């Protein structure tokens, strides 16, 4: 099966499995697993931060950031289509006790003017105070878009001038770096905390990191335990993360190239409206006159060996480590057979 559902479906490479088998282990709750500590140090250095914390998921990394930066009753400014607001099961309210104030745009950006209009720093007891401004880069639901770094920094400067903290959901920040030419540390530099995911384009089986200054990461460690994220001999999976950072960052551009090739092939087919991708995520819509339901379209592709899913006639194809040129060619033929 050629699995285009997500870049989370990758399997560890032989080299990654060997690294996992050979990992030196300790007990990470006691903070003496040397492989976990090495991963945290490596990720922090790559992002230009003082410290890092290894966690099971990107959702946990983001929620720890909210908990570190906010108090119950505070407000967070985020994009209306971002992961934190839409795809983390209401955890911002349930766990951190904060509400989210949203800004919308087609590309995931939040301009300084838009941020200024939503900031609430006040002694008025009727309103929640803004404690955090958060961005997502690349922005999944807006098409895997790469944020304009100058625009991001202008919005962040405005928030910081008001004493508002900043966080970056950088689950696919490696893709943003590959597409923009900026180093990861450049993209992460203006943020107080940054989360990155190891199990998406980087191909590790599990894990994310939250990076920032030592004080905030020390706080996050306590909340990680509170949220059930304390792991024991976690070096087994941390070693996969080290391998991913050492070997898979440089190849992300290959996924972007294949997404472009798939997009150019789909544009030639009837019945689809294709959004040209910036990174590894390709979105397209089934036109109203195409006599296929969402389920029927997915089933027809599945019968031809391609896994894909979407909703409301909009679909996402994710290119990743396990999709080579031969698999891409077969996927294109499956689309052509249906359309």
pLDDT in tens, 133-147: 999 999 999 999 999
Residue 11 is predicted with a pLDDT of 96
Query: The pTM is what?
Result: 0.96
Q: How far is CA 260 from CA 207, 211, 268, 285, 306, in A?
A: 28, 32, 13, 16, 18
Does the pLDDT of residue 123 top 90, yes or no?
no
> Residue 106 class from Cβ within 10 Å (0-12 exposed, 13-18 middle, 19+ buried)?
exposed
For residue 130, give the 3-state DSSP assignment: strand
pLDDT band at 31 (very low <50, low <70, confident <90, very high): very high
Domain ranges of the chain: 14-247, 251-338
Burial 66-75, CB ≥16 within 10 A → b, else e: bbbbbeeebb
- The CATH number fitting domain 14-247, selected from 3.40.50.2000, 3.50.50.60, 3.40.640.10, 3.40.50.150: 3.40.640.10
pLDDT in tens, 279-319: 999 999 999 999 999 999 999 999 999 999 899 999 999 99
176 and 185 in contact (C-beta within 8 Å)?
no
What does the alpha-carbon distance between residue 207 and residue 60 come to, in Å, rounded to a whole number?
10
| Domain covering 251-338 assigned CATH 3.30.365.10 in the classification | no
Query: How do residues 195-232 score in pLDDT, each as one tens digit?
Result: 999 999 999 999 999 999 999 999 999 999 999 999 99
C-alpha to C-alpha distance for 45 and 184, rounded to whole angstroms? 10
**Is 125 or 219 the better-scoring residue by pLDDT?**
219
Q: Of all helices (H) and strands (E), which one includes residue 239?
A: helix 235-247
Measured between alpha carbons, how far is 271 from 277 in angstroms, rounded to an integer?
Answer: 18
Distance CA 278, CA 218 (A): 36
The SS3 of residue 99 is strand
Farthest-apart Cα atoms in the chain, separation: 63
CA-to-CA separations, 210 to 77, 105, 333, in angstroms, rounded: 19, 26, 40
Q: What is the pLDDT of residues 46-104, one digit of tens each?
A: 999 999 999 999 999 999 999 999 999 999 999 999 999 999 999 999 999 999 999 99
């Amino acid at each position: 099966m050629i699995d285009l559902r997500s870049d989370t479906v990758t399997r560890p490479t032989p080299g990654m499995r060997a690294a996992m088998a050979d990992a030196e282990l300790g007990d990470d709750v006691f903070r003496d697993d040397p492989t976990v500590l090495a991963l945290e140090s490596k990720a922090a250095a790559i992002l230009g931060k003082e410290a890092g914390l290894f966690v099971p998921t990107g959702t946990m990394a983001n929620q720890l950031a909210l908990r570190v930066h906010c108090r119950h009753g505070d407000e967070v400014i985020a994009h209306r289509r971002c992961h934190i607001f839409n795809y983390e099961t209401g955890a911002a309210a349930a766990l951190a006790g904060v509400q989210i104030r949203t800004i919308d745009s087609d590309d995931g950006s939040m301009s300084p003017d838009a941020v200024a209009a939503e900031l609430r720093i006040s002694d008025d007891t009727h309103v929640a105070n803004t404690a955090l401004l958060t961005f997502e880069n690349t922005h999944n639901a807006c098409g895997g878009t790469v944020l304009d770094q100058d625009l991001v920094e202008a919005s962040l400067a405005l928030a910081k001038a008001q004493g508002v903290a900043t966080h970056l959901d950088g689950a696919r920040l490696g893709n943003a770096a590959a597409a923009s030419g900026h180093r990861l540390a450049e993209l992460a530099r203006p943020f107080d905390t940054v989360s990155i995911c190891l199990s998406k384009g980087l191909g590790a089986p599990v894990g994310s990191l939250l990076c920032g200054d030592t004080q905030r990461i020390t706080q996050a460690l306590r909340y990680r335990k509170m949220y059930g994220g304390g792991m024991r001999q976690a070096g087994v999976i941390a070693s996969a993360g080290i391998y991913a950072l050492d070997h898979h960052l440089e190849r992300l551009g290959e996924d972007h190239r294949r997404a472009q090739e798939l997009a150019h092939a789909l544009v030639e087919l009837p019945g689809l409206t294709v959004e040209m991708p910036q990174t590894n995520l390709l979105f397209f819509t089934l036109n109203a006159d195409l006599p296929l339901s969402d389920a029927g379209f997915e089933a027809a592709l599945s019968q031809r060996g391609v896994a894909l899913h979407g909703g409301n006639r909009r679909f996402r194809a994710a290119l990743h480590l396990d999709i080579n040129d031969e698999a891409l060619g077969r996927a294109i033929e499956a689309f052509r057979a249906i359309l």
